[in-house]
A = this chain, B = another copy of it.
Amino acid sequence: MFIPRKILEDKLLQFLHEDVGQGDVTTAAVVPEELTVEAVVVAKDSGVIAGIEEASVLAEALGLEGETYVLDGTEVKKGETLLKLCGNAQTILVAERTLLNLLSRMSGIATKTRRIVQQLQGRKATSIVAATRKSAPGLLYFDKKAVIVGGGDPHRLHLDDMVLIKDNHIVLAGDVASAIKKAKAGTSFTKKVEVEVTKSADAVAAAKAGADIVMLDNFNPAQARQAVSALKRAGLRDKVILEASGGISEETLLDYASTGIDVLSLGELTHSVKAFNVSLEIIRVL
């Protein structure tokens, strides 16, 4: 997900614009216009940082000099300095909250994703940890990027990049097999076709019908194990990527991983983010 800096800049300035409204009345009244200061952004939690690129692109777009002390993906301890900003004091203060809010959300996502990925790695599990489209509206790009920084898979980026046939689609298409048939006939050869199934038999039907990815929706670990067996019996296990989704949490993760599922996807990576605490402090007037 490489995006040119200039386009990223525009997205970030829109966020800032929303927060500024008609102008920052506090800074205008309290802070001298021509003051140059140095400020640092400091971690108030321990975890994995994401959003450093965004923070420095925003800072530089505003004419500030940014020096980064960590890269996106770095694990930091509470108290570490992440970024130093140098420039006009009013500008730093007006951008502070927008910059911190994004850094805080993205690092929260990356920290949780990494923790889950490492849990699996600790057990030598090879399942991929993936996000879903359950993101905050308007923040798809940033939420997905934070998942990647944390070591997860972003899954589908939006509605145009793969076919994902869900329960409601199947209801309207008739059954799993006809839905897949329609999808393959009606979509570009450049797309993978994934289908969500609710029982083992449908997983087998989906693989037979040529799905590239089969998503076991709300299967418990035992049911998932059955589905894997059914596919193996049918000689179709290698034909598909198996994904489990729904009800997977940090507690149940290892149980799911042990079933041999290829991908474990968790909506909570992006829909229930715990903010990573960061703060900005002015440390020097130049």
Given contacts A29-B183, A94-B159, A182-B29, contact A153 B20 (CB under 8 A): no
Query: Chain B contacts of A13 at CB under 8 A?
Result: 6-7, 10
Cα of A167 to Cα of B279 in the assembled complex, Å: 11
Q: How far is the CA of A282 from the CA of B169 in the complex (A)?
A: 9
- Distance of A251 from chain B, by nearest CB (Å): 16
Interface string of A116-155 (1 = CB under 8 A from B): 0000000000001010011111111110110000000111
A167 and B18 CA atoms in complex are apart in Å by: 23
**Cβ contact of A26, chosen from B24, B100, B159, B281, cutoff 8 A:** B159
Q: Is the CB of B173 within 8 A of A31?
A: yes
Whether, in the assembled complex, A28 has its beta carbon less than 8 Å from a beta carbon of chain B, the answer is: yes
Total identical chains: 6
- Is there contact, CB below 8 Å, between A104 and B134? yes
Cβ contact within 8 Å between A172 and B89? yes
Q: How far is the CA of A13 from the CA of B10 in the complex (A)?
A: 10
Using an 8 Å CB-CB cutoff, how does the interface string of A51-91 with B read, 1 for contact, 0 for none?
00000000001110000000000000000000000000111
Bound state CA distance, A68 and B25, in angstroms? 25
Interface size on A, residues (CB 8 A): 110
Cβ of A214 under 8 Å from chain B: no
Q: Does A249 contact B (CB under 8 A)?
A: no
A29 touches B275 (CB 8 A): no
In chain A, residues 1-59, which have Cβ atoms closer than 8 Å to a Cβ of chain B?
1-7, 10, 13-32, 35, 37, 39
CB distance from A207 to the nearest CB of B (A): 16
Say whether B30 contacts A4, CB under 8 Å.
no
CB distance from A8 to the nearest CB of B (A): 9
Given A26-B159, A268-B275, are A97 and B133 also a contact pair (CB < 8 Å)? Answer: yes
Smallest Cβ distance from A209 to chain B, in angstroms? 13
Structural contact, B160 and A189, CB atoms closer than 8 A: no
A206 beta carbon closer than 8 Å to chain B: no
The answer to whether A267 touches B275 (Cβ under 8 A) is yes
**B26 touching A7, Cβ below 8 Å:** no
Does the CB pair A159–B189 fall under 8 Å?
A: no
